[in-house]
Structure 1
């Protein structure tokens, strides 16, 4: 097999709660390499590109507003089956039911807000990873 790359985002709730180091540690303990890393304030332009497939859906604007609410840490991680592996490590997008031992299961919860604040994003396919890495890292 060949190594894959994936985009991982620590969302504003993870940065705000000082969980970036814990999340990076879990990625590295899983055996993946961090090949690029930066903290930034996302722009509406970046988010419109990143979430293009969700435009027009009821949760789109609350999601964009949440992602604009604070800094984001963008990560390119590399490793064998890293896309599948990180999504497993992240856990269900619904923190309330995410399995213990996952990032969202251990560190996330439902805050009763308009949009689920679930700490991290991970690309869902090699095609998405390539597109998303291009958006966030140029």
Structure 2
């Protein structure tokens, strides 16, 4: 069966797997195997364990939807990261989120400084007194 994981940033994973285990805080845990009944489930905060031959990968999901039909698992997630364990994937995802928040704060500060500078330059130029 195939699993496809996509986020707003694009396709994160698209591979053949033997089966997957879906775990979410709200819905609990269940496995999807070849020829499973079609299903749709949400994942608030959880993970998908992907088993492929002798390799296990874990995709940590924040705010996502899992849909299974015709032996294809489609996962659409607001945020996701793949790792070898749930813990390592979650740690990396949280690190990326923190870096993104720090960057957004820096940009807000830069924007505030630019806005203040613009107001000062308008006042200096007396552009408002025409």
Regarding TM over 0.5, the answer is no
Which is richer in helix?
1
Q: Higher RCO, 1 or 2 (CA under 8 Å, sep at least 6)?
A: 1
Query: Rg larger in 1 or in 2?
Result: 2
Superposition TM-score, scaled by structure 2 size:
0.25
Superposition TM-score, scaled by structure 1 size:
0.24
